[in-house]
Amino acid sequence: MIKFKLNGKSVTYEGDSSKPLLWFVREDAELTGSKFGCGVAMCGACTMHLNGNPVRACSTPISMVDGGSVTTIEGLESKTAKAVQTAWQDLDVVQCGYCQSGQIMSAVALLEKNNKPTDEDINAAMDGNLCRCATYHRIRKAIHNASKSLAKEA
């Protein structure tokens, strides 16, 4: 039996241990904010945090999260997360919105580790998250804005 924390709550899973985390979260736990985009960790739409690090849940076998702690877009509640989501809304970053849960998860993970990212840092952290609406221009601005608002609070 696989046991882990999902958004702070204990969950268990029995069955095919190669099943990707994404499908457990979406179909078993019925949290649908994380999306399926490629299935091979090339687009980032499924990004979740595993023990605080961003992972591509579509390519993370559920066996890998045993004993760990997983956070999805539904479980975001840190100060950083609030700053990011506020910045996202202030700038109306979203278009179709499908990739945005993943974008936000990657952005939050970046800012949790580096609260003053440069453009180069943003490229490195965000290049794995595709957006076909090409909202990159606003994502970059939103990350800088979130960084500034966090600095003000501190």
Residue number, 80 or 85, with CB nearest to another protein: 85
27 binds another protein (CB under 8 A): yes
What is the x/- site pattern for another protein, positions 98-117, by CB under 8 A? xxxx--x-------------
30: contact with another protein by CB under 8 A: yes
- Burial readout 41-54 (b: 16 or more C-beta within 10 A, e: otherwise): bebbbbbbbbeeeb
Q: Candidates 140, 144, 148, 149: give the one binding another protein (CB under 8 A).
A: 140
Token output for 49: 């945090």
31/17 Cα distance (integer angstroms): 19
Task: Tell which one of 7, 60, 71, 72 touches another protein (CB under 8 A).
Answer: 72
Contact present, 106 and 129 (Cβ < 8 Å): yes
Contacts of 83 (CB under 8 A, 6+ apart): 111, 146, 149, 150, 153
- Residue 8 binds another protein, judged by CB under 8 A: no
Residues that bind another protein (CB under 8 A): 16, 19-20, 23, 26-27, 30, 32-40, 42-43, 45, 72-74, 85, 88-89, 92-101, 104, 122-123, 126-127, 129-140
